[in-house]
Structure 1
């Protein structure tokens, strides 16, 4: 499912991102542009991170998964990727430097859980995680996803 949701046109790289808010805008832009999510969904993600405890999207190892409730503006399931250099502080908290932002648009809880399980497999594989963080092109990211297996 990850390879179906994270297509090359949804993979971006950015230098000198000024804030976590800008990172969320940038990671969600491909999904807004292709109609997978609405601007309301972006606002809901930003509001969630700004709220107390908003750093819950930090998955560890410099990876954050931006997402909100489906009813906030998911049109169809999708996933996007943004590699930032240097890292930005999630919710301006020095304990949460983020190098890689993913944006998840899940249409229901079942899809959310399935995608989270697949991401867990991907991100707990040290070589795959390193490959995602070292990627410099969409082809690099796609290659990492292909190496994880048929279910990724």
Structure 2
């Protein structure tokens, strides 16, 4: 699921939802999947429409439209040391962020389907939450990804 070690971040410390977005989306920029303005696009979209990317209790899939700076299809996974609130009654507080970027709708849907299957696996979610290091998180995600094929 995660193709580069820098795209898995375990137990990051953030102060609020904006910091969480910046922390979760920065690896996509640093790995060349997005332009710098992609993160700004997610924040701007959030301010306009609310946290549209909160999909389950504790889980966010922050993303923007392809034209807001997506260069390639990618995903970065971040867990938070302490969950933060985004202003969503059903999903707050958030501890797991799947930051994604897609250059087209088909790639976006495929990624969301893979994430949805992971969200149905409570044991895997517990393991992700317990991962203490980036390496442990990456290993769990990639073991899950290879097991699905």
Report the TM-score when normalising by structure 1: 0.86
Q: Please name the residue that 1:58 is paired with.
A: 54
**Secondary structure at the residue paired with 1:48?**
helix
Matched, 1:43 2:10: no
- Give the conservation status (yes or no) of the 8 Å contact 2:2–2:76: no
Q: How many residues align?
A: 146
Q: 1:148 Cα shift?
A: 5.2
Q: 1:149 Cα shift?
A: 4.1
CA distance in structure 1 between the partners assigned to 2:67 and 2:118 by the alignment: 27
Q: Please name the residue that 1:80 is paired with.
A: 76
* Deviations 1:75-121 (CA, angstroms, capped at 9, x unpaired): 11111122112111114x56521111221011110000000000011
Please list every run of at least 4 consecutive aligned residues from structure 1 whose deviation after the TM superposition is greater than 4 angstroms: none
Q: Please name the residue that 2:130 is paired with.
A: 134
Q: Please name the residue that 2:118 is paired with.
A: 122
- Give the conservation status (yes or no) of the 8 Å contact 2:37–2:68: yes
* Deviations 1:11-67 (CA, angstroms, capped at 9, x unpaired): 22312x111011111111111112210121111101112223x22211213110100
CA distance in structure 2 between the partners assigned to 1:49 and 1:122 by the alignment: 24
Unaligned runs of 5+ residues in structure 1 are none
> What is the aligned-residue RMSD (CA, Å)?
1.8
**Secondary structure at the residue paired with 1:51?**
helix
- Give the conservation status (yes or no) of the 8 Å contact 2:2–2:138: yes
Q: 1:122 Cα shift?
A: 0.8
